[in-house]
Amino acid sequence: MSTSTSTSAQIDYAFYAKAGFLLGVTLFVVGAGGELVGTAFFGSLPAWETTLLFDLEVLGILLGLFAPLTFGIVLPLTE
């Protein structure tokens, strides 16, 4: 019998912190790159595309900041 009182599965916090950060960077690069390339090739982009690309940039920044903070610092301390 196991003497551990924890019934939760072991979570690989380092993997989730790194993966979340990389996903955030990817979203930011796609948003910023899409805006630069789209404007360079097509001139003015429609409003919905500009909004979508801007939202990707903001989501990428937030995810890139909060994923390592959450999975690298907060959750390991609560375990």
- pTM equals 0.84
Residue for token pair 């993966």: 19
- Give 10-68 pLDDT, tens digit per residue: 889 999 999 999 999 999 999 999 999 999 999 999 999 999 999 999 999 999 999 99
pLDDT band at 7 (very low <50, low <70, confident <90, very high): low
Residue for token pair 């996903």: 23
Q: What is the pLDDT of residue 79?
A: 80
Q: What is the pLDDT of residue 8?
A: 59
Supply 17's token pair. 């912190």
CA-based end-to-end distance of the chain:
22
* pLDDT greater than 70 at residue 4: no
HEC profile for 61-74?
Answer: HHHHHHHHHHHHHH
